[in-house]
Structure 1
Amino acid sequence: MGHLGVLFILLLCSCLRAGGHKQCKKDEFPCRNSRCIAGRFLCNGVNDCGDRSDEDSCQNCTTTGVFSCGKSDICLPAHKLCDGHLDCADGRDEDQKMCGIVKPSSQSSGTCEMSEFQCVDGNCILHAWRCDNSPDCFDGSDEVNCDQNECLVNNGGCSHICSDDTMGFHCRCPENMRLVGGSQCEEIDRCLEADVCDQLCIYMNGNFTCDCSEGYDMNPTSTGCKAKGGDAQMVFTSSGGLKWTSVTGTGRQNRPRPPQLSGTGSLAASASNRTLYWAPHGQGAIYRVWMDENPQKPLLVLKVKGSVSALALDWIHRLLYWSDVEGGSVNVVLLDSLTQHQLTSGLDRPSALAVEPLQGLLFWAQCGSFPKIERSALDGRDRLALVTSYIHCPSALSLDMPRQLLYWADEGRRSISRVNLKGQNRKTVVESNGYLDRPFGLAVFEGFVYWSDKVTQSICRANKHNGSQLLVLLKDLTSPGVLTIIQPALQPHGPSVCGHAVCGDDCVVSLKSDRLDFSCISTEKGDNKSREDSTLLHAVPVSSRSDAMFAGILSLITFLSLLLVGMAVWWWRRACGLSPSVTADSFSLGQSQDPLIIQGGPVCQNSCSVKETLIKLDLDRK
């Protein structure tokens, strides 16, 4: 046939393949499986296409901890990624969207953090980038006056030890601490570093001992923790409305029929009574749905301003939190009084919420020009930024309460990461794997992390430690949205953190004109105060007891009550025996509200008057 004929056939086959391929945009890469991915994800060492066609023709940068600079460029060590230096020829290792470290211009004139250097033009960069022989400020002011000892000014921005170098400086940490972000030191948590225990972990003499929290049993072979109290159900939203199934994805999917529940929206759940709180997108309303009713009839709980972007339920204090995209706020309502209150404002596209009532903590995320994750007390005070760097758009939050970890899904970075509740010990546990293109819902249960994905139209799960054991639970879902898992162990009961203290008696939640207030008061005072203003107060017991404990206490109270009744009747009969002259006509049951008086039979051997008996009781007390 000749070389020209072979070349013509190859070109023809190529054209035929291209003609049948999904049309990708100019800045996208066409995968062999007809998917399109952003061009910046080509040759990044991650299987973004799902069939590895975006990595097959690249440099061999598949080793863990290595980043590819492109087809004909170098393989870059991971520690050089987003370090402020352009190492790749096309600069992809410092891509602003990927690194997520550029602050909005509106903040350029503000005060930089301790770990940052303020450029002459007002922008903030990491202090560790100053005098590193590479200009990072737009005006190059970070490379001026580098012959001075930078450690003499604000300790160089280092949280602990600052060491001055011939060119620049560097930060160091004491023993048993590690350097984070080039300037901050945090304690090394050996258990989280090893990440071998599902829940409780004890490190001693180089060995790890794993255990399970209350409400879980340990699997003797896998050291995993299995929740007690029945099977868990996964509840999620899609364009068809609310649905739920088992956490394995098997079994019948239920869908409420009412039209109010169609479409995507926000979701929160109460495990104790299997109740869902549901805010359809764009309706400005929050509904309550009982899962065990058939058909499921929604009850309008609250009309709110703006569009609800997230819901979170405090099952201890009976508080429902929601975020408003248009108003840029986080709000709260007392479910027992339906009184609303705005906790925070000024947020830029709030996107997710989570609450930990046993620790008295509220978490929220925003996806705007300065994406971050913050936390506060339940009343919105004591705000603390947990994650501010290497974050693009945190679309969902979920808590691993036994380990006191906060997980988030980042739809911009296509990853799932976690930190502890102080913002430390950060780790990315799941990265783009072909089913993590645009995560929207997130839940953590037992040893797995669950997520929904809008691009792949699926719900998946993977190991919560390292992203292994990927399993696609549901496929071909139309616009899958938020998801949650309902199981009693996920909402444990315990002492009520009343504001900043654990109460000795009851915790009363009140909604004042300017704030949500928590106060510890005695049971008697709490009852009186609740009667005075029942629309604004909600009393929370110090601890929610188990059914067995409650039954035992109730039995003890019943026994003591019967004993008291018996003693009173015995004393009464003895007292009445001393007054034989009283007639039966002077006795009237209708005049008494005393529960000790028994109707329908002779109370005294020779009868006695209620009035005379009460007078004797009063005299005896004196």
Structure 2
Amino acid sequence: EFSCKSGRCVAIEWLCDGEDDCGDASDEADCSTTPSTPTVCGRSEMRCGNNTSMNQCLPARWRCDGDIDCPNGEDEIGCDECKSHTCGTGLFKCQDEKKCILDAWKCDDVHDCVNGSDEVDCIRCKTGVGQSGCVNKCDFKVDCLDRSDETNCSFQGVCANSECSHTCTPTPQGFKCSCPKGKELSPDDATCQDIDYCRQRGVCSQICQSSPLSFHCSCHNGWKIAHYDVTKCVYAKKSPPPFIIFSNQRSLRYLRLNEGKRKSQFLVKGFRQVMGVDFHYNRNLIFFTEILEDRITRARIKFNEKDNSLKLTDQRVIISRGLMTPEGLAVDWIHDRIYFVEATLNQIEMATLEGTNRTVIVGEGLVNPRAIAVDPRYGYLFWTDWGVGNSRVGEGVTGRGRQGPDMEGDGWPNGLTLDYLENRVYWADAKYDIIWSAKYDGTDDITVVERVDWLTHPFGVTTFADLVIWTDWRTTVIASANKWSGENATIVELGYNPPFDVKVFHESRQPLTRTGEQSCESRAPYPCLNFTCEGLCVSVPPATDSMAIDTPLTAKCTCPQFYKLAENGYSCERIVNFLLFSHFLEIRGIRLDNSNLSAIQAISSPEVVRATRLAYDWSHDRIYWADSKTQEIKSCFVNGSDSTVVAYTERYEGVAVDWIARNIYWTDPGIDQIKVVRMSGLFAYTIFQGGQKLRSIALHPVAGVLFATDWGTKAGIIRMKLDGTGVKWILTGLGWPNGITIDF
């Protein structure tokens, strides 16, 4: 910088640029060259006169400053309308003039303003031993040795009627309130209140207690203050250490969270596409989903203290039947349950740790569910939904379904996790590349991480201590940042395959109580631990719209698919009546009393490829369907087991069951025939031919007759005996009669 004679400092590049930047033109003195004649003046310049041949451009701020700078005085013409302008910081505005001078020029015995207003309200006094001069009066700065420059000021009495609770300072504009150390002005600008040092998130890593002059940090149960930072908490038990476990399509990998050598190792490999992952810490179990195989696998996970490694044993599939695109997975470590998202069926199910007693928890209003998280201490369930125009983070209750407000948006909420220390939910949005957080009830939502190079398509997310950890598809990294501010974003692992779900395998991620205690004796608040249900018991909060975290839990019984809860509230009874339907890749049964709940497990691939016609043998609980892709008529039990091929047929329209004689009937529109075969697949036989465009078929085995629709020239309904005799058109001229059934 260049030091001006006026006391101002300006940039070196402003020297000899034709502009008075110092205010006293000292930056334009002793210039060896003369600026050449400009053809056009700059944006911060003005030209003297309108003749472009005039060799003079002046700083625009010299316009209407009270000094004639142009040879013909053009810079001071038409200035009356400009006299209301203001001056910048460090400058003084001359009264009734559009002229700014340096503050240092005020009260210096030199009239810099034309009207001398820069020398008004000045007094001469002794300012030091053997020194005297003119100083500003009543500027709240004592310049005179006898303080005479700050006495008898006209506004000194304004504090007499002030509303300041502590300190009042008079000013020319009125009074100004201020507060002592440890306090701050409240919104009324008059009353002092204690400073809440804990107001800013992340001041303490866990618990913050504010005091009048400072704050104090403490930790949750099981944690302690770090020796290197009194604001941070570390887990009291050093072993086992926290591990990051993540899926990356072909395998499960792991690495120590705080290890300097950040290179992951295989936990298990050889998958086509492994997706969701979660664990049960106290039972040493890990669970993961495979979306191409449509199955959920469980294994035992063991920590080796000698080399600080993890190892899997006893790997086995626990759910494979009736599962369609399992993605998100969550473990209830208190009641020993697993929750999983079926993306194709748009529902959330619950089951035991062995995969038994499956029941649908949320089957209503889901469009494209993805991730799931559970806090069994409060009985709360959270999930993300990518539904077009309805994307959200949903909230519900374990064992009862939807409850509480949704955190809605128009993004792609992908990964989801819970902070069990702070009772907050975190989710990653793959559309906006942002990680958000909110309290369990959806309030206090904040943006945690954004505009980070390795946050370009987040998928999984989890938390541990002060960190939020996420996976990113596009950059194939696992990264972390401060869970409150998003600061200190760091790459934890850089891989080759896109990482999917991520979890921190550590005891603190599954607290046994709301206060974080890990002793089994402290689990009394969970009523299901001492309650008997014929099906599954879940501990749930009261049925209200609020998501309170201080309410007691109650026990609630649920029943597996094929059953419903009896009136006594704990027994299960068989569902006798339900609606059976096919949807290409799946066969589903829903309850008649609640269409959002499944009555049976969905029957899907590989058994079902493209189911277009259905029949049901209620006496043997078997379903029959025609598959247009495989050109087969197939059968299985209602639970999806014992899938067999009954008949092969290139063409069919209607399929019906004779549950008394144990036969299957179907129409063949290609050759206009009705055929029959034993349920065992033996003795196929044509009982009728001569139709025109046969479609659907319905049987009445008790009466020994069947009915068929025909689109031919008669377009009606045909009745005949089950052996194909006694054919009669009972209705004609119907148009295109299609589906047909019998009201028994």
TM-score, normalised to structure 1, is 0.49
Structure with the higher strand share, 1 or 2: 2
Greater relative contact order (Cα < 8 A, sep 6+): 1
